[in-house]
Amino acid sequence: MLRQLQSEDELRNRESVALGRCIDQLQSTVSRQRHRRHLYRALGPLFILLVLWIDLFAAEGAFKSGPNGKTFGADWAMFMGAAGMMRQGQNPYAHTALYRAEKQLLARQRLPNLKQQ
């Protein structure tokens, strides 16, 4: 009789341990699903904004003719021209000097300039 009680207690202990493991696995699965849901809620709107931003630039025609003095090349030429002027000790806020530097930079890259003077 004592052996039977001990074996029943061991069986209950094993069952409770197995049940505890199942509960732990279920909780970790629920936690991972909750984490994934939060990740999608955070990154989903950012991804949508990125797609809309790219579509806006494509609809504007910014990517059609490649870089030039009218689209993104103008910013690149201005910043690179100003950096080159500073490196040479010149004032990057002098508009005519900066324009000449931009024009030379775009010409070296064989890119059309926005204004031709």
pLDDT of residue 5: 53
User: From CA 94, how far away is CA 101, in angstroms rounded?
Assistant: 11
Give the mean pLDDT per block of 10 residues along the chain (117 residues): 61 74 79 85 92 86 66 76 92 92 84 61
Domain coordinates of the chain in residue numbers? Answer: 1-62, 65-117
**Look-up of token digits 């630039």:** 57
pTM attached to this predicted model: 0.43
User: From CA 95, how far away is CA 99, in angstroms rounded?
Assistant: 6
pLDDT of residue 24: 78
Alpha carbon 45 to chain centroid, angstroms = 12
